[in-house]
Amino acid sequence: MSQGERKKGMSSRTQILRDRETGVCYLQTWDGFAASITLLVNADGSPVVNSQATETTDA
């Protein structure tokens, strides 16, 4: 499959997840059968904490 070509039925998605107990935010992405989750950090390297965020937000 060449770049830019997509198999029928495969999708791509990105969302931000928030840990309910700590408020720490993560970026979750997937494309077809591949997925990843990454800690979101501030410019100083500390985790992004948002106690006001919803549990999941589509980006």
Q: What is the pLDDT of residues 30-47, one digit of tens each?
A: 998 899 999 999 999 999
Residue 55 CA to residue 12 CA, distance in Å, equals: 20
Whole-number average pLDDT of the chain: 81
Triad 5, 33, 49: Cα angle to 5°? 110
> Is the pLDDT score of 29 beyond 80?
yes
Q: What is the pLDDT of residue 23?
A: 93
Average pLDDT over residues 14-38: 94
For residue 35, what are the contacts with CB-CB under 8 A and spacing of at least 6? 28, 29
> Is the pLDDT score of 3 beyond 50?
no
Question: What region does 45 belong to: left with phi over 0, alpha with psi -120 to 50, or beta?
Answer: left
